[in-house]
Amino acid sequence: MTDDPLEKAEASSPPLRRRTRLTRAGLATRVDGGRAVNPPLVRASTILFDNVAHLMDVRRRRNDERLLSYGARGNPVAYALEDAITELEGGHRTRLFPTGLAAITQTLIACLRPGDHVLIADSVYEPVRHFARQFFERFSIDYSFFAADGQGVEALLRPRTRLIYAESPGSLAYEIVDLPALARLAHSRGILLAADNTWGAGYLYRPLALGADIVVSAPTKYLSGHSDVVMGAVTTTQEAWARINRSADAHGMTVGPDDAWLILRGSRTLAARLPLHAAGALRAAQWLRAHPAVARVFHPALPDDPGHALWRRDFSGANGLLSLALKDPAEEAAIRFIDALRLFGIGASWGGFESLAMLADMRQARTVADWSRHPLLIRLHVGLEDPDDLIADLEQALARKSVKGER
């Protein structure tokens, strides 16, 4: 018995007309033989069922089971990527979102209700601050920020604290939090702990194994590795899964199969790429730390970094990120340095094969710690270029006294 709808229709009479045949041809072509290494790319919005009973059965079960029911509820390639990220993070299941920020905001929405209180790391990805101001205040959710290194959290807890949201290493300055200690504190009070693991990419750091309930990440970065797709992911324990999954369905959160396919392909080389990024970044950090124009370098793999001991305990390696502060605190000096770079592109994001530089104003990015000593940081992402070439580029940029548009 054939599965091709055209052949099924031809078995009946009268014969189908050409226009009908054109719309029905090639919908279910089977080819015998082997199978592809990667999951096939499946683009679909409408999903067809054998009969009404089949449709009703799938819809009844899809809130608790992963079933192909409609394009907005996922697709086979996205399911394969979810499985890959779940394996990396060591969780129960993963849900994909169109951006990393969407993954974060959906986690906050799913876990909080009016009247609740949430504690957020001072080192959080800066757009989360904007979300807190715009969303939490409108919906009567209280929020406060705790020190980037996790100190003093217990004193900030309230009777209505329902969630602690951490980021380790912290955005821009890479502060390390003692996540197991934070988890013990949270769970002793019945509070959920969520952690952003974009820096660790599920490979260098595993917050769920250290006690977190929810892990948020942006596969946009290292999992993709090619700077050509954006996506977010949330991986949870079994106990925390239902609230994330149902909230995502209620908000129509999904990703396209093409994007999922690109990130799945990029993930295959993650283990090969990360050591190259890490080695280049550490060399650059060590070289910059010795340069007379540099006041400080921020990188957790440096032995004198405040979080180095925790980094060695909880992480299996580093990535390509580092930040530096120039001895000249003027914004013009930082801008001249960035503009003089030839191998570092100027652009947001990181985690791709290319090196990048961005200016960060810590007075806007932080509210708990005093950053008056180093108000401006230059964040570098060291790509897969030869480290000697990148260091030569840094050297010539630091040597430039003025830049007039040369690139």
pLDDT in tens, 324-374: 999 999 999 999 999 999 999 999 999 999 999 999 999 999 999 999 999
Residue 248: its pLDDT value, please? 95
Q: Tell whether 394 and 296 lie within a shared domain.
A: yes
Residue 42 lies in a domain: no
Q: Tell whether 177 and 70 lie within a shared domain.
A: yes
Residue 23 lies in a domain: yes
Q: Tell whether 167 and 86 lie within a shared domain.
A: yes
Q: Tell whether 81 and 221 lie within a shared domain.
A: yes
Q: Tell whether 241 and 342 lie within a shared domain.
A: no
Q: Tell whether 281 and 246 lie within a shared domain.
A: no
Residue 407: its pLDDT value, please? 35
Measure CA 143 to chain center: 22
Residue 407 lies in a domain: no
Q: Tell whether 317 and 357 lie within a shared domain.
A: yes
Residue 405: its pLDDT value, please? 41
pLDDT beneath 50: ranges in the chain: 1, 401-407
Whole-number CA gyration radius for the chain: 25
Q: Tell whether 276 and 253 lie within a shared domain.
A: no
Residue 85 lies in a domain: yes
Residue 195 lies in a domain: yes
Residue 267: its pLDDT value, please? 95
Domain boundary among 267, 296, 328: 267
> For the chain, what is the mean pLDDT?
93
pLDDT digits (tens, 9 = 90+) for 276-299: 999 999 999 999 999 999 999 999
Q: Tell whether 68 and 13 lie within a shared domain.
A: no
Q: Which long-range contacts (CB under 8 A, 24 or more apart) does 181-190 make?
A: 181/150, 182/150, 182/153, 182/211, 183/210, 183/211, 183/212, 184/211, 185/153, 185/154, 185/157, 186/211, 187/211, 189/157, 189/161
Q: Tell whether 279 and 243 lie within a shared domain.
A: no
CATH of residue 157's domain is: 3.40.640.10
Q: Tell whether 337 and 249 lie within a shared domain.
A: no
pTM score above 0.85 = yes
Residue 25: its pLDDT value, please? 75
CATH of residue 316's domain is: 3.90.1150.10
Domain boundary among 241, 267, 293: 267
Domain boundary among 239, 267, 295: 267
Q: Tell whether 109 and 197 lie within a shared domain.
A: yes
Residue 35: its pLDDT value, please? 83
Residue 44 lies in a domain: no
Host domain of residue 19: 1-34
Residue 404: its pLDDT value, please? 43
The number of distinct structural domains making up the chain is 3
Residue 40 lies in a domain: no
Residue 297 lies in a domain: yes
